[in-house]
Chain A
Amino acid sequence: GAVVSQHPSWVICKSGTSVKIECRSLDFQATTMFWYRQFPKQSLMLMATSNEGSKATYEQGVEKDKFLINHASLTLSTLTVTSAHPEDSSFYICSAGTSKKTQYFGPGTRLLVL
């Protein structure tokens, strides 16, 4: 089946620094990828839709200047959390869809901001 990878799997950073998370579709091309955030015991919250070659579409309440998304190729999307603060600590997950309407999720990146 289709595989989506994320890197890094976990990251600890100091408050005020920026963190970049990569999402790759390993064996298929994804014109659209999705970024989610999940807090403990909560549902996945869609943050933004990442479109290859164009600007990302952000969900209401998500700051586009804080969560920078770049979809440089059909297999890579990146999410940069700029000037991270402790409240940004969460589990960040990406997904990519296929023509069969199936969403394949990455393994997630756990971010801890001290």
Chain B
Amino acid sequence: SQKIEQNSEALNIQEGKTATLTCNYTNYSPAYLQWYRQDPGRGPVFLLLIRENEKEKRKERLKVTFDTTLKQSLFHITASQPADSATYLCALFNSGNTPLVFGKGTRLSVIA
């Protein structure tokens, strides 16, 4: 059956450390994958998009990797700050820009 999983429901890390979030999927063939940030009671905010033929993408303190063999994406936040505390969602999309599925999200807490 088709499935998407984010490694943990919650992750606590110390300020200044690198946070690594995992997104695994099975029985999907996405054209690209996106990561979003969602704050409580708000809609998701787009962070990064990575295509199936790309290995890595960076944006400021954020880095995303995409391994279509392992069917896994890793999302890294370097030099984490308390303001980075939020829920992070991964989502798979097909080539027609139609969302396939969203993960449940990982709630990240950065402790000062």
Least CB distance, B16 to chain A, in whole angstroms: 28
Least CB distance, A101 to chain B, in whole angstroms: 6
What chain A residues lie within 8 Å of B9 (beta carbons)? 41
What chain A residues lie within 8 Å of B44 (beta carbons)? 44, 93, 95, 105
Which residue of A has the minimal Cβ distance to B48? Answer: A102
Which residue of B has the minimal Cβ distance to A34? Answer: B99
* CB < 8 Å A-B pair total: 58
Q: Does A97 contact B (CB under 8 A)?
A: yes
Q: Does A77 contact B (CB under 8 A)?
A: no
Cα A93 to Cα B38 in complex, Å, equals: 12
Q: Does A75 contact B (CB under 8 A)?
A: no
What chain B residues lie within 8 Å of A101 (beta carbons)? 32, 49, 93, 97
Interface hit among B53-61, B67-75, B101-109: B101-109
Interface residue range, chain A: 20 to 34
Whether the Cβ atoms of A108 and B41 lie closer than 8 Å is yes
Q: Does B1 contact A (CB under 8 A)?
A: no
Least CB distance, B22 to chain A, in whole angstroms: 15
Which residue of B has the minimal Cβ distance to A57? Answer: B98
Whether the Cβ atoms of B43 and A97 lie closer than 8 Å is no
Cα A91 to Cα B46 in complex, Å, equals: 18
Whether the Cβ atoms of A102 and B49 lie closer than 8 Å is yes
What chain B residues lie within 8 Å of A106 (beta carbons)? 43
Which residue of A has the minimal Cβ distance to B4? Answer: A43
Whether the Cβ atoms of A41 and B49 lie closer than 8 Å is no
What chain B residues lie within 8 Å of A105 (beta carbons)? 36, 43-46
What chain B residues lie within 8 Å of A44 (beta carbons)? 44, 89, 91, 102
Cα A36 to Cα B38 in complex, Å, equals: 14
Least CB distance, A69 to chain B, in whole angstroms: 15
A-side residues, CB < 8 A to B, are: 4, 6, 32, 34, 36, 41-46, 49, 91, 93, 95, 97, 101-108, 110
B-side residues, CB < 8 A to A, are: 4, 9, 32, 34, 36, 41-46, 49, 89, 91, 93, 97-99, 101-105
A-B pairs with lowest CB-CB distance, top 3: A105-B43, A44-B102, A43-B104
